[in-house]
Amino acid sequence: MNPSLRSLTDLALAAVFAALIIVLAFVSIPVGSAGVPIVLQNAAFILTGLVLGARRGLITVAIFFALGLVLPVLAGGRSITAALAGPTAGYIIGYIVSTALAGFLAYHLRGNRYLALSIAAIVALFSQYLCGAIGLVLRADMSVGAATLSQGSFVLIDALKLLVVIAVAATIHAALPHLLRPAAHA
């Protein structure tokens, strides 16, 4: 594929996934005392990395964040700017980290495709939890233990979301194998 067409294709894919992430902001269920809701956006960021790879995934995140500076693209109708000032700041940073990790691992792990996607998704989710816990320590004045334990209410639902995300990513890669082009371009 010619490089300029590839760049346009990458941008179009990133825009579609950014739109998907924004649409999933409308699904938000408040839980726990830390004020952090159950959302589908975290799964959408992982899906983005699994499907598009790290480079295109980060382009998606850049589009999402650019829009989020001026539009309410997050759960609860918040902008990125508002979220970064609150207890969910770590999770917002975790979205960037998890997309990159999911994309890098999904495109570089060899062997069984489902296993590679599963490892990538689990590592990505763990990075969201880690960044989220750090954000809670820094923004909500929680102890490290309390911030870590607060992740517990999300584990089961996030595990279920990962099962769906992994199945969707595997299906997309099976239907569109050209997405798995060499890692230097992913």
Is 151:38 a contact under the CB 8 Å cutoff?
no
Element spanning 58, H or E = helix 41-68
Q: What is the pLDDT of residue 137?
A: 96
Q: What is the pLDDT of residue 35?
A: 59
Q: What is the pLDDT of residue 183?
A: 42
Q: How far is the C-alpha of 45 from the C-alpha of 20, rounded, in Å?
A: 9
Q: Is 185 inside any structural domain?
A: no
Q: What is the pLDDT of residue 179?
A: 73
Q: How far is the C-alpha of 184 from the C-alpha of 102, rounded, in Å?
A: 15
Q: Is 48 inside any structural domain?
A: yes
Q: Is 17 inside any structural domain?
A: yes
Q: How far is the C-alpha of 67 from the C-alpha of 175, rounded, in Å?
A: 30
Q: What is the pLDDT of residue 177?
A: 86
Q: Is 47 inside any structural domain?
A: yes
Q: What is the pLDDT of residue 5?
A: 77
pTM: 0.91
Q: What is the pLDDT of residue 121?
A: 98
Instruction: Residue 13: give the domain boundaries.
Output: 3-179
Is 165:24 a contact under the CB 8 Å cutoff?
no
Q: Is 184 inside any structural domain?
A: no
Q: Count structural domains, the chain.
A: 1
| Contact residues for 25 (Cβ-Cβ < 8 A; gap 6+) | 39, 41, 72, 73, 74, 75, 77
What is the CATH classification number for the domain harbouring 89?
1.10.1760.20
- Between CA 60 and CA 180, with CA 114 as vertex, the angle to 5 degrees is 45
Q: Is 89 inside any structural domain?
A: yes
> 175 exposed, middle or buried (CB, 10 Å; 0-12, 13-18, 19+)?
exposed
Provide the β-strand partners of residue 29.
Answer: 38
Q: What is the pLDDT of residue 180?
A: 64
Q: Is 106 inside any structural domain?
A: yes
Q: Is 186 inside any structural domain?
A: no
Mean per-residue pLDDT pooled into runs of 10, the chain (186 residues): 81 96 86 68 97 96 96 89 91 97 95 95 98 95 94 91 97 86 48
